[in-house]
Structure 1
Amino acid sequence: MFNNSSKQEKIKSDVTTVIAEDASFSGDIVMEASLHVDGTIQGKIECRGDVTIGPNGKVGSEIKARNLYVSGSVEGHVSVDETLHIHDSGKVSGDADMATIIIEENGRLNGTTKMRKKESEADVTILNQKSN
């Protein structure tokens, strides 16, 4: 009689799994919900939700996610459905493809990028750019 599937979908997208700062994980992670990494992961991450790499977080492999927020470091190919946001302390070393990219002033991306269009035109934003 009542359809709870949309409510269950929202609950799945709001749930976040946390890899704590003192934790280390080796292996592949496949999940529906979001992931927050403050520790170290060696293995592929495939996440239908958002992935956040905290300032002390380190990931050494491929990441697939809806959105990716990097304050720590990532070494490997990154494939993001929507936005790749590299904060001022974030470092990504590897190729990246995404619809939108935001790199803050001291954030670093070492690799090639491929931008895809989503419903609206893809764009590049650099925050806090110093003028000469």
Structure 2
Amino acid sequence: MGVFGKHREAADTPRGGTTIVADGSRIHGELTLAGKLHIDGYVDGRIDCQGDVSLGRSGRFEGEIHAERLLVSGLLRGQVHCKALEIVSDGVVEGEVVTDEFVIESGGRFVGQSHRREQTDAQVPESSLPQVDLEEALPELSAEDSDQLTTSG
């Protein structure tokens, strides 16, 4: 059972209804939603959704998407940021994924890079990196060593 089959508390569900992009519809631009989104048509752009997003078999999305959970049965190309991603049979995701939970069912395909959310959220301050003086760290090359580096092949 994938991440979408898990029981959720009613208090976790964002307010608002479900927005549907029907098969044959085309949207280009930015969508900001408090509720859920289901795509059977084509969307190109950016989606910021506080709820779950599902991409149906006929659904196509290109761009950047931020969602609570994402279920992909169609084709998604771009960047994904979510708590949970599930690619079901015939679903395809191409691009970069940043998520905590990642499920690919038999027949689903993923081509790209995936990262856990805490890996991308953690920034290492430059001041905490060790400072290395290259002249002290690297031994000097003798004239003979230098000749070997330029003439070897």
Same fold by TM (over 0.5)? yes
Q: Report whether the alignment pairs 1:12 with 2:23.
A: no
TM-score normalized with structure 1 length? 0.77
Whole-Å separation in 2 of the counterparts to 1:21 and 1:93: 21
Q: What letter is aligned with 1:61? A: G
Question: Which residue of the partner structure matches residue 106 of structure 1?
Answer: 107
Give matches, 1:19-34, under 5 Å.
19-34=21-36
Identity of aligned residues (%): 33
Larger proportion of helix: 2
Cα 1:111–1:10, aligned 2, differ >3 Å: closer, same or farther?
closer
Cα 1:11–1:69, aligned 2, differ >3 Å: closer, same or farther?
closer
TM-score normalized with structure 2 length? 0.67
Question: Which residue of the partner structure matches residue 89 of structure 1?
Answer: 90
Question: Which residue of the partner structure matches residue 42 of structure 1?
Answer: 44
Give the CA deviation at 1:116. Answer: 3.4
Q: What letter is aligned with 2:15? A: K
Match of 1:56 among 27, 36, 58: 58
Whole-Å separation in 2 of the counterparts to 1:43 and 1:107: 23
Whole-Å separation in 2 of the counterparts to 1:99 and 1:8: 21
Whole-Å separation in 2 of the counterparts to 1:78 and 1:92: 9
Cα 1:40–1:9, aligned 2, differ >3 Å: closer, same or farther?
same
Whole-Å separation in 1 of the counterparts to 2:15 and 2:58: 26
Query: Gaps (5+ residues) in structure 2?
Result: 1-9, 119-153
SS at match of 1:69: strand
Question: Which residue of the partner structure matches residue 68 of structure 2?
Answer: 66
Give the CA deviation at 1:9. Answer: 8.3
Output one character per residue of 1:78-112: Cα deviation in whole Å (capped at 9) or x when no partner.
Answer: 000x2100001100000001110110011111111
Query: Gaps (5+ residues) in structure 1?
Result: 1-6, 118-132
Aligned length: 109
